[in-house]
Each structure stands twice: as structure tokens, then as C-alpha cells.
């Protein structure tokens, strides 16, 4: 059924799809699960998420971005992530509200450019690049302006079941800054409802990070907190959606986990950058392989 772009039902559905797109799912049901999970597990982050969900598409419409992109939630997920990040790092204040709005508006402009390049012949998917870039800038700016850091919150569901299960589910939740294993489990079940294949690869990415970390001497604390698993989970989802072969998501998961410590070396928070770079490397590697195979076919073709 076609819905009027201005109707409230259409607006609600597309905003929920925008939440789902954080995990690369154009599914309003999954988006609703994410919204409700944020509301009960981290209510202090909810205003920022809603601000991003409202301002992102409004700005995109104002600058005349394609309606199809707006309806697909492609101008929601980066603003939502920005709206989650800043109150996760800083206490709410008038200054933080202004910084959040500025970052959201700029993020929409960056996303518009990235979406256009992604549709060129040799373009690469935008993923959460706009969020990462604006996250780096806005967090640095917030610190320079002397914003008070956010207060630490207690984990209500940590250690209630099993440490391995906690660490795995945290890989799902930390994508949206939720450090509650129960929140991560809720997200994992929601993803299973939306796309079973994506849920499988996300689980493999989140759990795989726990296995990869000790093999390569990566910090155990980061693995146990889900900070390595979040990028592994996203890489697993993204590459399983793009390639049928299991080799691509497996390579992406490994790369995403191994790339994470590199950002600490240059003094930058990783956010979801390892996932983006891992996916780009796999995609570029596949393109190079395709070129080499096509050249090999040309050489072996019999000449008349």
C-alpha cells in the first residue's frame, strides 16, 4: 500500500526504518524494538536519538535530497547515532543541544555527498562514515568547549547469566552505546525477527571477536565489553547482505576486529570506523580479484 509522504503513518514508519538502518535493516518493526530498547536501558540518550530522527530527514527534505533515500531511512541513521553519541559522552546542557543540532545538520550534508559518490561506477558504500567523521569532530569540540562528561551509569543486567553471553550480546548493544547485556540480547532477537541471515552473521561477528582477541593479543577488556564485537557484528551484517559467499563476511569480521586498535594508536575513538574500513577493503579486494580473473579469461580464450 502506497502511503502519502506527508501522512503521519508514513512518517512514523520511515522514522522507525531509520533506526533499523543503523544495523542495515529497512524494517520498521526492528526500528521500533531499537527505539524501545534505548528508552528503557538508556533514557538519557533517548532525546538525542529522537532529535536525530526528526532533524535528519527534515534537513534532507529541505536540501532536496531524493525522496526515495529519505523514505529508506538513509538520512536518519547517522543523525540518530550522533544524537546517541553526544549525550553518551557529555552531560546534557544548552551547549550540548546546540552542538548536537549542528553536528546532525552537517552530518546530513556529508551523507548526501557520500551517497552520491557511492552510486558512481567505482563508488563505495557510505555506511556510517558521516557519523564517524562528525563524531570525531563534535567530541573533540565538546571537550575543547569544556562540556562536563556524562555520569557513569550502573549496568543492571551484567553478570546475571554468563560472562561469555554478556560479552557477545554487548557486541550488539554497543553499536548504539548500550552497555546492558539484556539490551543487546533484545536487539539480537529483534534482528532475528527482521533478517535471520543478518542475525547469524552479526552473532558470528560479535562472538568471533571474543575468539580473535586473545589470538592476536588484543585487549581482553575491550573484547569483554563488546567494543570489538560491535564492529565485527556490523561487518558480518553488511558483507553478508552484499555477497553470497561466506568468505567475504568472514574476512570482514577478522579485519574489523584487527583494525580497531589502530585508531587508539592515532588517538582517535574507533566508533564504527573499523567496520567501514573492513568492508571497503573486502569490496575493493573483490573488485581487484574480478579484474584479475577477467584478464586471465581473456588470455586463455582461443584466438581465431
- Digits of tens for pLDDT over the chain (304 positions)? 454 656 888 899 999 999 999 999 999 999 999 999 999 999 999 999 999 999 999 999 999 999 999 999 999 999 999 999 999 999 999 999 999 999 999 999 999 999 999 999 889 999 999 999 999 999 999 999 999 999 988 787 787 768 889 999 999 999 999 999 999 999 999 999 999 999 999 999 999 999 999 999 999 999 998 999 999 999 999 999 999 999 999 999 999 999 999 999 999 999 999 999 999 999 999 999 988 887 766 666 655 5
The residue ranges of every structural domain in the chain are: 1-150, 183-296
Phi-psi region of 135 (alpha: psi -120 to 50; beta: other; left: phi over 0): alpha
Q: Which grid coordinates are listed for 2? A: 502506497
- CA–CA separation, 185 vs 193, rounded Å? 12
| pLDDT value at residue 156 | 78
| pLDDT value at residue 299 | 64
- CA–CA separation, 57 vs 83, rounded Å? 14
| pLDDT value at residue 147 | 98
| pLDDT value at residue 1 | 44
CATH code of 1-150, in short, is 1.10.3430.10
- CA–CA separation, 212 vs 249, rounded Å? 15
- CA–CA separation, 212 vs 218, rounded Å? 8
| pLDDT value at residue 297 | 67
- CA–CA separation, 259 vs 247, rounded Å? 18
Burial 183-204 (b: 16+ CB within 10 A, else e): bbbbbbebbeebbeebbbbbbb
Backbone angles phi, psi at 90, to 5 degrees: -120, 155
Tell me the residue ranges of DSSP E strands in the chain: none
SS3 state at 39:
helix
CB atoms within 10 A of CB 175: 28
> Among 41, 144, 22, which residue's Cα sits nearest to residue 95?
144
Supply the pTM of this predicted model. Answer: 0.94
- CA–CA separation, 115 vs 78, rounded Å? 12
Q: Is the separation of the CB atoms in 237 and 23 below 8 Å?
A: yes
27: Cα within 13 Å, side-chain hemisphere: 16
Backbone angles phi, psi at 50, to 5 degrees: -65, -40
Residue with cell 579485519: 255
Q: Which grid coordinates are listed for 299? A: 588470455
Q: Using only C-alpha atoms, what is the Rg of the chain?
A: 20
Amino acid at each position: 500500500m502506497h502511503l502519502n509522504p506527508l501522512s503521519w503513518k508514513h512518517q512514523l514508519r520511515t522514522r522507525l526504518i531509520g533506526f533499523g538502518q543503523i544495523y542495515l535493516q529497512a524494517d520498521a518493526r526492528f526500528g521500533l524494538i531499537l527505539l524501545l530498547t534505548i528508552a528503557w536501558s538508556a533514557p538519557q540518550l533517548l532525546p538525542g536519538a529522537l532529535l536525530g530522527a526528526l532533524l535528519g530527514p527534515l534537513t534532507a527534505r529541505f536540501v532536496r535530497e531524493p525522496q526515495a533515500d529519505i523514505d529508506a531511512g538513509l538520512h536518519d541513521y547517522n543523525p540518530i547515532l550522533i544524537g546517541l553519541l553526544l549525550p553518551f559522552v557529555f552531560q546534557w546542557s544548552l551547549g550540548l543541544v546546540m552542538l548536537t543540532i549542528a553536528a546532525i545538520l552537517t552530518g546530513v550534508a556529508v551523507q548526501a555527498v557520500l551517497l552520491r559518490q557511492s552510486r558512481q561506477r567505482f563508488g563505495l558504500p557510505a555506511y556510517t562514515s558521516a557519523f564517524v567523521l562528525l563524531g570525531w569532530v563534535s567530541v573533540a569540540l565538546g571537550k575543547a568547549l569544556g562540556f562536563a562528561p556524562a555520569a557513569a551509569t550502573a549496568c543492571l543486567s551484567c553478570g546475571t547469566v554468563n560472562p561469555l553471553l554478556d560479552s557477545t550480546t554487548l557486541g550488539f548493544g554497543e553499536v548504539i552505546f548500550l552497555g546492558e547485556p539484556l539490551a543487546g540480547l533484545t536487539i539480537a532477537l529483534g534482528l532475528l525477527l527482521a533478517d535471520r541471515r543478518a542475525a547469524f552473521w552479526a552473532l558470528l561477528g560479535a562472538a568471533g571477536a571474543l575468539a580473535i582477541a586473545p589470538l592476536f593479543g588484543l585487549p581482553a577488556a575491550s573484547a569483554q565489553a563488546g567494543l570489538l564485537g560491535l564492529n565485527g557484528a556490523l561487518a558480518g551484517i553488511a558483507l553478508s547482505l552484499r555477497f553470497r559467499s561466506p568468505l567475504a563476511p568472514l574476512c570482514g569480521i577478522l579485519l574489523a576486529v584487527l583494525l580497531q586498535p589502530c585508531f587508539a594508536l592515532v588517538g582517535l575513538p574507533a566508533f564504527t570506523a573499523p567496520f567501514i574500513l573492513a568492508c571497503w577493503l573486502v569490496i575493493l579486494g573483490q573488485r581487484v580479484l574480478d579484474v584479475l580473473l577477467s584478464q586471465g579469461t581473456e588470455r586463455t580464450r582461443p584466438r581465431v
